[in-house]
C-alpha cells in the first residue's frame, strides 16, 4: 500500500521566508555574492551574560526534563516582566513556555479553536498565521488593509468582517511584515468591537521592545477593562535578545483552564522546551537590559538609512517603519516589465529575479497576503544594506 500525505497537509504552504533564505544559502554555497534581506533574524550575537548562564546551567546539571510547560523561575520572570512593563497581573500558572513563539501560537490556536471557527487576520500578515490556523480545522478570514492607513485594521473593517462563526481576532503589533504598530487610540476602537462581539484575541507582541516612535508600545490587554480575560499574549526572547536559535517563546493565557490545555498539548507533542535555553532565557529577562537598548538603537539607525534609500527608489513607496525590523515596499509599478529579458508579472517573480540577477534576497508580498509588495529585513549590517540597495536600484533601472 502506498503511503499518502494527509489531505490536511497537502494544503499546507511552506514558509516563504525560510524558502527564500534557503535559496539564498544555496546560491552562497555555489560561490555567489548574496545580500540576504529575507530573514527576520537579528545579526547580533546573543549577549554574553545570557550565553554564560547557559554554560552555568549545564554545569549545574540542568540538562534533564523540566515541567512540560516550562520551569517555574522562567514563568515567574515572564509574569514579573509584564507587571513591571505594562501593569498586567498574572499568575505563573497562566504562562506556558514553548519552543519559540511560533510553537506558542500553535498551542494557542489548537487549544481554543474548533473546526469551522473563523479567525480574522488583518493582511499583510506573517506567513505562518493562516497555515497554523488551518491545521486546527478553523478558517482564516483575511481582511485587507491599505498602505495609506499604515496597513492597520480599523474598527469598521473588523465589524464588517464579523459572522456568526467568528471566534477570534489575531493582532500583531508591531507588525511583521510591515513594521507599523497600533497606537493606543487605534487599539481602543478595535477593543470596543472585540468586547461587543465577545471575541478571543491572540496578541502577537514579539516585537514589543523594538519601537522607533515617541509613543510607547501599548499591550492589547491594557486598552480596555475586560480584555485581559479574553486575550492570549504571545512573546519570546528571539527578537529582543537576539536568541532566535535558542527557541524560547511563551503564551500567557487568560485563564488557568486555557493554560492547562496548552500545557497538556505541549506535553504530548514536544515535552518541555530545551532546559538549557530556558535558563538562558531566564538570564535574559532578569539580567542587564542595556543590551536591548543597544540593539534597538542600531536597528533604528538602520531603519533611518533604509527609509532614505527607499525614498530614492523610483516608483517605490513604503508605510512608515515604526517597529520591528522590516520594510514592506510597494513594487506594483515595476511589475509587467522585463528584467534581463524575463517578464516579471507578480511579486514572487520579482523577488526571484532580483535574487537570481542581483543577488538580493527578499520575500514576496504575496506570501503575506499582499500582492505587489516585497518585504526587506534590515536586521543586517549597514554594509550589506548599502550594497543591497545599490543592486536594487540597478535592477529597477534595467527594467524595460
The predicted-structure confidence for 337-370, as pLDDT tens digits, reads as follows 999 999 999 999 999 999 999 999 999 999 999 9
Show the CA angle centred on residue 149, arms to residues 145 and 153, nearest 5°: 45
Q: Which of 260, 286, 312 is the last residue of a domain?
A: 286
pLDDT digits over 208-244, tens only?
Answer: 999 999 999 999 999 999 999 999 999 999 999 999 9
Say whether both 331 and 261 belong to one domain.
no
Coil/strand/helix, residue 53: helix
In a domain, 77, yes or no: yes
Looking at residue 27, its pLDDT comes to 81
Looking at residue 8, its pLDDT comes to 81
Is the bond leading into 104 cis (omega within 30 degrees of zero)?
Answer: no
Say whether both 169 and 103 belong to one domain.
yes
Say whether both 55 and 201 belong to one domain.
yes
Say whether both 323 and 384 belong to one domain.
yes
Q: Residue 58 sits in which domain range?
A: 49-286
The CATH number covering residue 69 comes to 3.40.640.10
In a domain, 79, yes or no: yes
Q: Cβ distance 309 to 220 under 8 Å?
A: no
User: Into how many domains does the chain fold?
Assistant: 2
Facing residues of 232 across strands? 202
Say whether both 376 and 269 belong to one domain.
no
Residues 6+ apart with CB under 8 A from 145: 122, 123, 124, 151, 152, 153, 157
Looking at residue 24, its pLDDT comes to 80
pTM of the complete model beyond 0.85: yes
Looking at residue 10, its pLDDT comes to 84
Say whether both 128 and 34 belong to one domain.
no
In a domain, 16, yes or no: yes
Looking at residue 40, its pLDDT comes to 87
Say whether both 124 and 254 belong to one domain.
yes
Q: Cβ distance 327 to 306 under 8 Å?
A: yes
Looking at residue 1, its pLDDT comes to 73
Say whether both 268 and 304 belong to one domain.
no
Run of H or E residues at 360: strand 360-361
Q: Cβ distance 351 to 360 under 8 Å?
A: no
Looking at residue 70, its pLDDT comes to 98
Q: Which of 237, 269, 286 is the last residue of a domain?
A: 286
Say whether both 246 and 225 belong to one domain.
yes
Q: Which of 268, 286, 304 is the last residue of a domain?
A: 286
Say whether both 68 and 183 belong to one domain.
yes
Looking at residue 210, its pLDDT comes to 98
In a domain, 2, yes or no: no
DSSP 172-232: ESS-TTT-----HHHHHHHHHHHHHHT-EEEEE-TTTT-B-SSSPP--GGGSSTTSGGGEE
Query: What whole-number distance in Å separates Cα of residue 271 and Cα of residue 254?
Result: 22
Looking at residue 61, its pLDDT comes to 98
Those residues of the chain that have pLDDT short of 50 are none
**What is the separation of C-alpha 55 from the centre of its chain, rounded to a whole number of angstroms?**
29
Query: What whole-number distance in Å separates Cα of residue 294 and Cα of residue 48?
Result: 14
The CATH number covering residue 318 comes to 3.90.1150.10
DSSP state of 299: H
In a domain, 246, yes or no: yes
Residue with cell 499604515: 150
Looking at residue 196, its pLDDT comes to 98
Say whether both 117 and 263 belong to one domain.
yes
Q: Cβ distance 360 to 309 under 8 Å?
A: no
Q: Are strands 373-377 and 363-364 parallel, antiparallel or unpaired?
A: antiparallel
Is the bond leading into 124 cis (omega within 30 degrees of zero)?
Answer: yes
Looking at residue 14, its pLDDT comes to 75
In a domain, 1, yes or no: no
User: Cell for 105?
Assistant: 501560537
Amino acid at each position: 500500500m502506498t503511503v499518502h500525505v494527509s489531505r490536511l497537509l497537502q494544503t499546507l504552504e511552506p514558509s516563504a521566508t525560510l524558502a527564500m533564505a534557503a535559496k539564498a544559502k544555496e546560491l552562497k554555497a555555489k560561490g555567489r555574492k548574496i545580500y540576504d534581506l529575507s530573514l527576520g533574524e537579528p545579526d547580533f550575537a546573543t549577549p554574553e551574560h545570557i550565553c554564560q548562564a547557559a554554560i552555568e546551567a549545564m554545569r549545574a546539571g540542568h540538562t534533564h526534563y523540566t515541567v512540560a510547560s516550562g520551569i517555574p523561575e522562567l514563568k515567574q520572570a515572564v509574569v514579573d516582566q509584564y507587571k513591571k512593563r505594562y501593569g498586567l497581573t498574572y499568575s505563573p500558572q497562566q504562562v506556558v513556555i514553548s519552543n519559540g513563539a511560533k510553537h506558542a501560537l500553535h498551542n494557542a490556536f489548537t487549544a481554543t479553536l474548533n473546526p469551522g471557527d473563523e479567525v480574522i487576520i488583518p493582511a499583510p500578515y506573517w506567513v505562518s498565521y493562516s497555515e497554523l490556523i488551518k491545521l486546527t480545522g478553523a478558517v482564516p478570514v483575511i481582511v485587507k488593509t491599505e498602505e495609506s492607513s499604515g496597513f492597520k485594521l480599523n474598527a469598521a473593517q473588523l465589524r464588517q468582517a464579523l459572522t456568526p462563526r467568528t471566534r477570534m481576532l489575531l493582532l500583531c503589533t508591531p507588525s511583521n511584515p510591515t513594521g507599523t504598530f497600533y497606537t493606543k487610540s487605534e487599539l481602543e476602537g478595535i477593543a470596543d468591537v472585540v468586547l461587543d462581539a465577545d471575541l478571543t484575541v491572540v496578541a502577537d507582541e514579539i516585537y514589543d521592545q523594538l519601537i522607533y516612535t515617541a509613543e510607547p508600545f501599548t499591550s492589547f490587554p491594557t486598552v480596555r477593562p475586560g480584555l485581559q480575560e479574553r486575550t492570549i499574549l504571545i512573546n519570546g526572547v528571539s527578537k529582543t535578545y537576539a536568541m532566535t536559535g535558542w527557541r524560547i517563546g511563551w503564551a500567557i493565557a487568560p485563564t488557568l483552564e486555557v493554560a492547562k490545555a496548552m500545557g497538556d498539548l505541549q506535553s504530548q507533542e514536544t515535552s518541555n522546551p530545551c532546559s538549557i535555553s530556558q535558563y538562558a532565557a531566564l538570564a535574559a529577562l532578569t539580567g542587564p537590559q542595556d543590551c536591548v537598548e543597544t540593539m534597538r538603537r542600531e536597528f533604528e539607525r538602520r531603519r533611518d538609512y533604509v527609509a532614505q534609500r527607499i525614498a530614492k527608489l523610483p516608483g517605490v513607496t513604503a508605510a512608515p517603519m515604526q517597529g520591528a525590523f522590516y520594510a514592506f515596499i510597494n513594487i506594483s509599478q515595476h511589475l509587467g516589465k522585463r528584467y534581463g529579458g524575463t517578464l516579471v508579472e507578480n511579486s514572487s517573480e520579482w523577488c526571484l529575479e532580483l535574487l537570481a540577477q542581483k543577488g538580493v534576497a527578499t520575500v514576496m508580498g504575496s506570501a503575506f497576503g499582499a500582492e505587489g509588495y516585497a518585504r526587506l529585513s534590515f536586521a543586517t549590517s549597514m554594509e550589506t544594506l548599502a550594497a543591497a540597495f545599490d543592486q536594487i536600484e540597478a535592477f529597477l533601472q534595467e527594467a524595460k
